[in-house]
Structure 1
């Protein structure tokens, strides 16, 4: 890190270093020296900016979560047609492959959530935001009579996010026959039934 960096910039660098350390060692296995090594600093220098390692790990998870969600929103922002928007949203929620860092970080967060209340709140917040994203698309499509929903939009939206989570985990766990393309098609199979739309947008 450059000595001329501001305190805020140094903290941003440390958050990124913590993210890399989490991906390498896991949320439960990462230690102060791991973050210091990733940052190219001494452990004391890390503690100067983050006296509590737990706080730094929370910020790293939060930053990763925000990055993941904002990328999803950005990908669908320019799409107005509900069916196309739904397809893009499904695909944007899946990892690009087993080594996708954004989804791997979310998996680490999920694994730690049962033992850490702060992580659980972060994960719940992300889930609720993704459900709201889907529900907005479903409600818009229904209002425009593009979709004929098979049930309440909230239920369908929750199911879509749950399917994303399940298939995303299988992809990062290197399932031999489930990759991003197969997972997207399986989720879209449910979405077609739930919306009454062929979702033939390619």
Structure 2
């Protein structure tokens, strides 16, 4: 992401469950912006625009919040989603500065297919990186094309985007390629099949 995504927001003066319900009825998401030793700022974000950011850019999105004329750069830290109704209940945002390094979890995506007669085990689906706040990779791709049984990929072997630094232990196992266990052969003829059935 080359630059932060701009979202209008308003300060929030009402608190509690009732205020949160009223905000959601008005298509707003309650949020809190904190960090760098400043007092937390309680906000309402437009729910449709914010949901679009998450859908298109993931949870590591960096936003430019226009708070009543003042701009704040913010990293999405926590998104609380209702477990049944699937709407966003609350958002925690962290203030960041241009050029600042942040530690984030980035999704690991496997591409390609391993060798025939193998099975792929992905032990870890995200890895922790340190990256520039405005250059957080959306995902880390790992090619498993043609890899044979017995191959293992650990975090320290993954090629990271320029400027990113691994925050995991280098020997953290990400991918394990194993030999696929074959099913027992079916009986070769009808006589063997009948004998197996009688047994």
The TM-score normalised by the length of structure 2 is: 0.29
Say which one has the larger Rg: 2
Relative to its length, the structure with more helix (as a share) is 1
Higher relative contact order, chain-length normalized (CA < 8 Å, sep 6+): 1
